A and B are shown apart, each in its own frame.
Chain A
Amino acid sequence: MTDALLAITMLWIFVMIYAVAAAIDFGAGFWAMFYMKRKRNRATTMVNRFLSPSWEVTNVFVVLIVVALFSFFPGATFTLGTVLLIPGSLVLLLLLVRSAFLVFAHSVQKYKALLTVTSGVTGLLIPAILVLVLPIAQGGLIEVVEGLERLDFRALLTSTRTYAFSFLAVVSSLYLSALFLSDYANEAGEKEAYRIFRRNALFLGPVLVLAALSIVGAVRREAEWFYANLEANGILLILSLLFFVIGYGALFLPHTKESSLLGRPRLAVISTAVQFLLASATYGMAHLPYLVYPVVTLESGFTHPNTFRALFLSFIIGFLILTPGFVYFWKMFLKDTGYLKQE
Chain B
Amino acid sequence: MDEILLTRALFGTTMAFHIIFATMGVALPLMILSAEILYQKTKDKDYAVMAKRWIKGFAILLAVAIPSGTIAGVQLSLLWPGYMKIIGEVVPLPFQIEIFAFFIEALFLSIYVYAADRLSPLMRIVSVSLVAFGAAASAVLITNAHAFQNTPVGFRIVEGQIVDVDPWAAFFNPNFIVAASHVLVTAYMTGAFMLASVAAFKMLKASPGSSHFVYYRKALMLGLIIGGLFSIFSAVTGHESAIHLHHYNPEKLAAAEGLFETRSHAPLKIGGWTDPETQEVKYAIEIPGLLSFLAGYSFDEVVRGLNDFPKEYWPPLFVRVLFNGMVGIGMLLIVLSIIGFIWRHILKRDVFPKWMMSCFVVSGPLAMLAIELGWIFACIGRQPWAIYRVLSTADAATTAGHIAPLFVLFTGLYVVLGIITVLVLYFYFKRHPLAEEIPV
Could you tell me which A residues sit within 8 Å of B by CB distance?
52-54, 56-57, 59-60, 62-64, 66-75, 77-78, 80-86, 88-89, 92-93, 95-100, 102-104, 107-110, 148, 150-151, 303-304, 306-307, 310-311, 314-315, 318, 321-322, 325-326, 328-329, 332-333, 336, 338-339
Taking a contact as CB atoms under 8 Å apart, the answer to whether B70 and A62 are in contact is yes
* Residue B348 CB within 8 A of the other chain: no
Cβ contact of A63, chosen from B85, B89, B99, cutoff 8 A: B99
Could you list 17 examples of A-B contacts with CB < 8 Å? A56-B109, A57-B103, A60-B99, A64-B99, A67-B95, A71-B88, A77-B77, A82-B81, A82-B398, A88-B78, A96-B413, A99-B67, A100-B67, A303-B88, A307-B89, A307-B92, A325-B104
Which residues of chain A come closer than 8 Å to B427, judged between CB atoms? 107-108, 110
* Residue B39 CB within 8 A of the other chain: no
Q: Which of B311-319, B364-372, B402-410 contacts A (4 or more CB under 8 A)?
A: B402-410
* Residue B208 CB within 8 A of the other chain: no
* Residue B329 CB within 8 A of the other chain: no
Question: How distant is the Cα of A52 from the Cα of B63 in the complex, in angstroms?
Answer: 11
Taking a contact as CB atoms under 8 Å apart, the answer to whether A307 and B104 are in contact is no
Cβ contact of B96, chosen from A71, A102, A150, cutoff 8 A: A71
* Residue B264 CB within 8 A of the other chain: no
Q: Which 8 A-B pairs have the closest CB atoms?
A: A74-B88, A71-B92, A103-B63, A81-B81, A53-B110, A56-B106, A70-B88, A304-B165
Which residues of chain A come closer than 8 Å to B402, judged between CB atoms? 85-86
Q: Which of B246-254, B284-292, B293-301, B417-425 contacts A (4 or more CB under 8 A)?
A: B417-425
Which residues of chain B come closer than 8 Å to A339, judged between CB atoms? 114-115, 118
Taking a contact as CB atoms under 8 Å apart, the answer to whether B75 and A99 are in contact is no
Of all chain B residues, the one with the shortest Cβ separation from A64 is B99
* Residue B438 CB within 8 A of the other chain: no
* Residue B49 CB within 8 A of the other chain: no
Of all chain B residues, the one with the shortest Cβ separation from A63 is B73
* Residue B84 CB within 8 A of the other chain: yes
Taking a contact as CB atoms under 8 Å apart, the answer to whether B167 and A306 are in contact is yes
Of all chain B residues, the one with the shortest Cβ separation from A147 is B399
Question: How distant is the Cα of A66 from the Cα of B420 in the complex, in angstroms?
Answer: 29
Taking a contact as CB atoms under 8 Å apart, the answer to whether A59 and B100 are in contact is no
A78-B82, A96-B413, A307-B90 given; A333·B75 CB < 8 A: no
Question: How distant is the Cα of A93 from the Cα of B406 in the complex, in angstroms?
Answer: 10
Question: How distant is the Cα of A336 from the Cα of B110 in the complex, in angstroms?
Answer: 14
Of all chain B residues, the one with the shortest Cβ separation from A14 is B99
Cβ contact of A67, chosen from B71, B92, B410, B421, cutoff 8 A: B92
Which chain B residues numbered 93 to 126 have a C-beta less than 8 Å away from chain A? 93, 95-100, 102-104, 106-111, 113-115, 118
Taking a contact as CB atoms under 8 Å apart, the answer to whether A60 and B77 are in contact is no
* Residue B87 CB within 8 A of the other chain: yes
Taking a contact as CB atoms under 8 Å apart, the answer to whether A74 and B84 are in contact is yes
Which chain B residues numbered 162 to 184 have a C-beta less than 8 Å away from chain A? 162, 165-168
CB distance from B414 to the nearest CB of A (A): 9
Q: Chain A CB within 10 Å — which of B63, B73, B109 has the most?
A: B63
Taking a contact as CB atoms under 8 Å apart, the answer to whether A67 and B73 are in contact is yes
Which residues of chain B come closer than 8 Å to A77, judged between CB atoms? 77, 81, 84-85, 88
Taking a contact as CB atoms under 8 Å apart, the answer to whether A96 and B424 are in contact is no
Which residues of chain A come closer than 8 Å to B59, judged between CB atoms? 103
CB distance from A115 to the nearest CB of B (A): 9
A59-B67, A310-B167 given; A81·B398 CB < 8 A: yes
CB distance from B189 to the nearest CB of A (A): 26
A56-B66, A56-B106, A85-B78 given; A311·B71 CB < 8 A: no
Q: Chain B, 417-439, contact with A by CB distance < 8 Å: what is the 0/1 string?
A: 10011011001100100000000
Taking a contact as CB atoms under 8 Å apart, the answer to whether A97 and B413 are in contact is yes
